[in-house]
Amino acid sequence: MTANDIRTAAAVLRKDLIVFRRYPTWIVSLLIWPALFPAMYVFMARTLSGPGGQAVAAFQSVSGTDDYIGFLLFGIIPWMILNTTLWDFGTHLRTEQVRGTLEATWTTPASRLSMLIGASIRQLVISLLFLTITLFMACLLYGFELRGDPLTLLGLLSLSLLPIIGLGMLFASLILWMKETSSLVVIVRGIFMAFAGMTYPIEVLPARMQILSKALPLTHAIRAMRLVGLIGVGWNDVKYEVMMLAILSVVFIAMGLMAFRLAERHGQSTGTLGHY
Q: How many residues does the chain have?
A: 276
Q: How far is CA 139 from the centre of its chain?
A: 22
Model confidence at 205: pLDDT above 80: yes
DSSP annotation string for 260-275: HHHHHHHHHHHT-TT-
Contact 59, 49 (CB under 8 A): yes
80: nearest Cα among 37, 40, 44: 37
Q: Per-residue pLDDT averaged across 186-191, rounded?
A: 87
Decide: 252 and 163 in contact? Cβ < 8 Å.
Answer: yes
Non-local (6+) Cβ contacts of 133 within 8 A are 30, 31, 34, 35
Lowest mean pLDDT among 90-94, 114-118, 152-156: 90-94
Is the predicted pLDDT of residue 232 greater than 80, yes or no? yes
Question: For residue 253, what pLDDT is reported?
Answer: 92
Q: How confident is the model at residue 69 (pLDDT cuts 50, 70, 90)?
A: confident
* Statement: residue 35 has pLDDT above 80: no
User: 68-87 and 182-195 helices cross at what angle (nearest 10)?
Assistant: 160
Predicted confidence at residue 129, as pLDDT, reads 80
How confident is the model at residue 215, as a pLDDT?
A: 92
Residue 88's CB: how many other CB atoms inside 10 A?
19
Helix (H, G, I), strand (E, B) or coil at 5: helix
What percentage of residues in the chain have a pLDDT greater than 90?
15
Predicted confidence (pLDDT) per residue in 97-141, tens digit: 777 777 778 778 888 778 878 887 887 787 778 778 887 877 887
Q: Which residue has the higher pLDDT, 126 or 162?
A: 162
- For residue 220, the model assigns a pLDDT of 94
What distance lies between CA 9 and its chain's CA centroid? 20
Identify which has the larger pLDDT, 246 or 175: 246
Q: Considering the chain, what is the average pLDDT of its residues?
A: 83
What is the pLDDT at residue 216? Answer: 93
